[in-house]
Structure 1
Amino acid sequence: MSSYEDLSREQLIQLLKKRDRTKKLGLVWERDEIEADNAIDANFVAATIIPELSDRPAPWRNMVIEGDNFDALRWLRMTLAGKVKCIYIDPPYNTGNKDWVYNDHYVEKEDRYRHSMWLDFLYQRLRIARDLLSSDGLILVSISDEQRAKLEMLMDEVFPGMRIGTFVWRTKDSSNDADRNLSSVHEHVLAYGNSDFSFLGFELDDAKYRHDDGDGRGKYSLDPITKAHDYTERENTYYPILDPQSGWWYPCNPDSVWRFATKEKVKEGQKLRSQTIEDLISDRRIHFSASDYVIYDTIDDLLSAIDNRVGPVDGNGRQLLRRGLPDLEFWVGKKIGLGRPSKKAYWNEKGATIKPVSSFVLGTKEAKVENFHELVSEKQGKATGIVTELFGKRVFQNPKPVSLLKSLISASVPNDGLILDFFAGSGTTAHAVMELNAEDGGTRRFILVSSTEATSDEPDKNLCQDITAERIRRLNKSEDPKFAELAAEFAYLRCEGIEFEDLDHDLRPAQVWTALEVLHDLPLTHYCAGPWQEHTTDELTLIFADRVNSDLIEHLKEIARERVNAFVYAWAPGQITQQIGQALDVRSVREELIGRFRQ
């Protein structure tokens, strides 16, 4: 394509007109004007296990990663692309009150590019996170009401066609805009999922199916047979119903007519979407609830009852017979049932017994979440109290409630799923996973990513080490009955960047081994210096050959003879294949890791 300098004035005008015609609909921010992250593949990222900061003996199924989450996400994309079932994040809300650090400094409220910096900061991370999700994976993002619209448009761009909806939860009970008499003390959780994702839902409670006629059809509930139209809007479904067993008549509510048609008013050739009321009565699917009736011998008796507000009423006490309604004379001399008919809905005829997840998170004092029939959450103040109790002092502002995360995770992740939080903060996500596993015996795993948040003003600050990971350590050793059953071993990892041209010299064998174990979905182990490292399970054998010698070759030949499902990685794989041929899957460390990193 030629440069702009080569174009004539007319060509430039046509180019500008075309650009004006093709402006995209969506979110625009001043990306060229701000300090952006480096390119995704500007350098290589390695992760090192820090044994003294890890908790409980290896092997470790869970991870806490210290570092800029942009770097951590790049490392995770290399090792876990397409394997994460659920990502939950609570990113900074961009309030301007030093709530986030960008490139080693706090973004100030007066910064003219504050909103664009925030959008670009999230954009860079979300587009990597997208690649981590499994085909049935989900990302959940907490956000304040003030920033929800911008974030949702950004996520529409990063996750096209993946929007599911929004959860709303109440954070506290006070007003935050007294001048306008508004209590907007709620936040949102945006949900975006891949094509195969569906919320698990909850088993429906069959408690309301308490009726049984003993006729072999089983238990049923009583469902209303009215709909929200008045008799002037739906005159064809405004009619009286006769109970053939008792001979009692039931008037239609003039404000909410019947849901089903009557044969008396069906026109010839008219197609119906459901059975008529006569068919339902004949099939004994209508329940008539009246235990008594009233009768009016004359029209004057009926009108007097109407004027004195006595007679048949609906469930809200509103009169069903009123002056001005058509055919009032019909009711003279009829036995009028003092009750309402309902439809029998049989439990064993339900097409599905799974209750959809509600978009509203219920706030309760106790936040009972054991059965997860609803998404429930304590208020944010309760969450702050839990963290303060664990640490003996207030160490983190506004952590999310454990009950909120438990509800969201239980509704979206099977009990063996992998959950990632790359804005881990106080570690609530890990706490929620630990409680869920303790309650149902699940094997859910977590990966938390947290930065140090060190700045020139606080060079020694380390949020990840001193709060995120420390919370899990304290839960692991707590003797408090509330936490005594909680346990989760984890490896503490630290990220570092390496220039691609320096990989052969600076990438350490221990870092390779950690990446390979995660790549093959194995719990992490210590690296022991030697010619090779091996991790064997019932499903596979993983070998990293740092150096090739005759003992390794003989060992590999034995593995080949036993037809073990094995993966062998080496700096120079040709040294192995020359001696064992194609008997095993032998791969190049450099090509495999760099290839995946740059995908």
Structure 2
Amino acid sequence: MVTSIRGNSAELTTPNGEEVETVTVQLDDLILVAEFRDRIYPGLRPDGSVERRDDRPFHSVITGENFHALALLTFTHEQAVDVIYIDPPYNSGASDWKYNNNYVAEDDLYRHSKWLAFIERRLKLARRLLRRDGTLVVTIDEHEVSRLGVLLSQLFPESTVQLVTIVNNPKGVTQEYLSRVEEYAYFVFGPEAQLGSVDDDLLTHRDIDESGGDGEVQRPRWKGLLRSGDDSLRVNRKDMFYPVWFDESTGRLDHAGDPLPWGEVPFFEKKNGLTPIWPIRRDLQEGRWGVGKDTLNLLIKQGFAAVGRFDKKRNTWAVSYLSRQVRDDLALGLLQVLSANEATGVADVAYVVTAARRIRTVWHRSSHDAGAHGTDLIRSLLGSGRGFPFPKSLYAVEDTLRPLVIGKRDAVVLDFFAGSGTTAHALMRLNRQDGGKRKSILVTNNEVSATEQESLRATGFRPGDTEWERLGICDLITKPRIQAAIAGSTSKGEPVNGDYKFVDEFPMSEGFEENAAFFTLTYESPWRVSTDRAFSAIAPMLWLRAGAVGRRIDSISDGWDVADSYGIINDLDRASEFIAALVAVEGLRIAFIVTDDEGRYQQVANEIPGVETVRLYEDYLRNCEMTGDF
């Protein structure tokens, strides 16, 4: 609120919890929105789209203040969102993008309470959007993790809150005494939430044999017994150079013999009908085995060692075994012995069925490296010179969402701290994997980095100027990234280099058969709304509420219109035509009736069976009062 004006400067006060913050700004930077106590209402201005398939819904990207955008969504998506995934500012004091870390000054004595107030107001609105069987995920680091946990428990008393530790930077960042390699994610499961089954618990060893298998059975990869790499010669470990005896007629390993004394030459003659196998390397040097004699004998007895193919060059056979990591997973119940070969005695070991696996609360996967699969991936999509600090790994977000939406192919996922747009990108990959039609709603501001702000102001530019806005996070990163991901080409029309990895590997240049629409948040007066003068700003919201699919109705100058999933009428004298058009559309979801007469609204609504009806603009005004206590 403007409290005083002196010359070319204005003094503003902003409530922040019980405190009031005061700041001085240039008068030219102020825009008249409303007088004190006036109510303002959010609207949307279309800013383009990218479309590749007519029968799929649209991902939506809204540029603007996320608190106001959340208020808007209480009209379009109250209790209709399946998953909310957010990566809010960590309050670490970094000064990159405003929503990343630098919401409160590092030396502010009340920085933690101010951050909590900032998050709390938004989470209260988010709570209104989440379905009872939905899940909220909030990522955070050590700066606010403990305080956030208390806040979530208070705001969601009926939900189950669990904390996950994610290794996102294996190289580590040195901070005081220890090197930090992780961040955290709170999962807030609604009272009716269900977690889908996946085939990876995201922690334990998952070295899959890609050679094939029966149906859905997945088997671990067997490790070669011949040591490779450092210290792999006989001279390095003389006690690891011993014969492995087996029966050529059955392929059964019999036992591991004693180590050959140093200086003696290995022999290849059979003894007692058994053939010796020696650790001879491909360069014909004398190597060594990867495990000791006693360990191998135990593995042979358990059926965890096997003979492979004969190698003419080395004049010996290959031997493989189950590594210690795989055997540990077997002991934990992550694998099972299906059977044993009658001739060879080798065990058939496979991972337990998908339904029996549970995701762990510690995640350690190379695919979650934020550098390789976040920063580098964005560079591939946008080209050099368009960096984004601390992006999430695409595959970490994908792994987060997968168990939450695996059984909901039409799920709605909301991210109101969207940053670079990783959430929408991950959802597109999930849709491609199972043919789903899930859609995301992203909200991000167009904040310019602190360094660029100083440079722009020094040259006379202000927020709203083209030169300023083009460097904002949405225009520079979010929007181009989503466009490039869908189209498979950069803003210059060049194919995106590189391949997607993990689970579903394919060239990035293929893109996705998805659609996305972009909007900018606007502010409308109640008079313009109630008198039908702000329809263009309300129109995208009606389309969002109807499912963000098909054609959008941007004008009702003819009195009514019916699109793929909804219809709108403001000339009730033509209700019969309107209702006939509604009935003719299969799968129509909702009808909006514009009138300030409750009686006439009910009359028309009663003649539209089986379709949700909404009265405009009364319902909208009631839901989106911006000065209410959310």
Unpaired runs of at least 5, structure 2: 1-15, 23-33, 208-216, 220-253, 256-292, 300-330, 340-351, 457-462, 490-494, 497-506
Query: Deviations along 1:343-362, whole A, 9 cap, x unmatched?
Result: 998989x9993311111222
CA distance in 2, matches of 1:386, 1:346: 40
CA distance in 2, matches of 1:311, 1:489: 61
Kept in 2: contact 1:498–1:507 (CA 8 A): no
Q: Which letter maps to 1:363? A: R
CA shift at 1:425, angstroms? 0.5
Q: Which letter maps to 2:191? A: S
* Alignment correspondent of 1:543: 567
Q: 2:557 aligns with which of 519, 527, 530?
A: 530
RMSD: 4.5
* Alignment correspondent of 1:582: 606
* Alignment correspondent of 1:329: none
Counterpart check, 1:356 vs 2:379: no
CA distance in 1, matches of 2:533, 2:18: 33
Query: Deviations along 1:216-271, whole A, 9 cap, x unmatched?
Result: xxx9x9xxxxxxxxxxxxxxxxxxxxxxxxxxxxxxxxxxxxxxxxxxxxxxxxxx
Q: Which letter maps to 1:504? A: S
CA distance in 2, matches of 1:176, 1:509: 51
* Alignment correspondent of 2:375: 384
CA shift at 1:579, angstroms? 7.6
If each structure's strand is expressed as a fraction of its own residues, which one has the higher value?
2
Kept in 2: contact 1:531–1:548 (CA 8 A): no
Kept in 2: contact 1:137–1:197 (CA 8 A): yes
Partner SS, residue 48 of structure 1:
strand
CA distance in 2, matches of 1:562, 1:101: 45
Kept in 2: contact 1:434–1:486 (CA 8 A): yes
Give the 5 Å matches for 1:297-336.
Answer: none
Q: Which letter maps to 2:520? A: R
**Gap change, CA 1:178 and 1:558, over 3 Å in 2:** closer
Query: Deviations along 1:183-219, whole A, 9 cap, x unmatched?
Result: 22210011001111122122599x99xxxxxxxxxx9
* Alignment correspondent of 1:594: 621
Partner SS, residue 429 of structure 2:
helix
CA shift at 1:53, angstroms? 5.7
**Gap change, CA 1:167 and 1:558, over 3 Å in 2:** closer
**Gap change, CA 1:201 and 1:566, over 3 Å in 2:** closer
- Larger-gyration structure (1/2): 1
CA distance in 2, matches of 1:390, 1:400: 15
CA shift at 1:503, angstroms? 3.4
* Alignment correspondent of 1:68: 65
CA distance in 2, matches of 1:419, 1:476: 18
Partner SS, residue 140 of structure 1:
strand
Counterpart check, 1:425 vs 2:448: no
CA distance in 1, matches of 2:51, 2:44: 15
**Gap change, CA 1:106 and 1:160, over 3 Å in 2:** closer
Partner SS, residue 513 of structure 1:
helix
**Gap change, CA 1:97 and 1:549, over 3 Å in 2:** same
* Alignment correspondent of 2:169: 172
Query: Deviations along 1:290-347, whole A, 9 cap, x unmatched?
Result: x99xxxxxxxxxxxxxxxxx9999979xxxxxxxxxxxxxxxxxxxxxxxxx999898
Partner SS, residue 52 of structure 1:
strand
Q: 1:452 aligns with which of 443, 446, 452?
A: 446
Counterpart check, 1:410 vs 2:382: no
Q: 1:92 aligns with which of 89, 94, 112?
A: 89
Kept in 2: contact 1:204–1:353 (CA 8 A): no
Give the 5 Å matches for 1:34-183.
Answer: 34-35=20-21, 43-52=39-48, 61-99=58-96, 101=98, 107-177=104-174, 180=177, 182-183=178-179
Kept in 2: contact 1:43–1:498 (CA 8 A): no
CA shift at 1:573, angstroms? 4.9
CA shift at 1:592, angstroms? 2.0
Kept in 2: contact 1:98–1:108 (CA 8 A): no
Q: 1:471 aligns with which of 451, 475, 481?
A: 481
Kept in 2: contact 1:145–1:186 (CA 8 A): no
CA shift at 1:175, angstroms? 4.1
Q: 2:182 aligns with which of 186, 191, 198?
A: 186
Query: Deviations along 1:1-31, whole A, 9 cap, x unmatched?
Result: xxxxxxxxxxxxxxxxxxxxxxxxxxxxx83
CA distance in 2, matches of 1:311, 1:97: 55
Partner SS, residue 90 of structure 2:
coil
**Gap change, CA 1:140 and 1:311, over 3 Å in 2:** closer
Query: Deviations along 1:26-68, whole A, 9 cap, x unmatched?
Result: xxxx8302459x9xx9845333241436666878521000110
How many residues are aligned here?
A: 434
Kept in 2: contact 1:513–1:544 (CA 8 A): no
Kept in 1: contact 2:595–2:601 (CA 8 A): no
Q: 1:441 aligns with which of 435, 438, 457?
A: 435
CA distance in 1, matches of 2:121, 2:601: 40
CA distance in 1, matches of 2:188, 2:589: 36
**Gap change, CA 1:593 and 1:312, over 3 Å in 2:** closer
Partner SS, residue 148 of structure 2:
helix
CA distance in 1, matches of 2:485, 2:356: 34
* Alignment correspondent of 1:556: 579
**Gap change, CA 1:124 and 1:514, over 3 Å in 2:** same
Counterpart check, 1:493 vs 2:479: no
Kept in 1: contact 2:89–2:103 (CA 8 A): no
Q: Which letter maps to 1:543? A: G
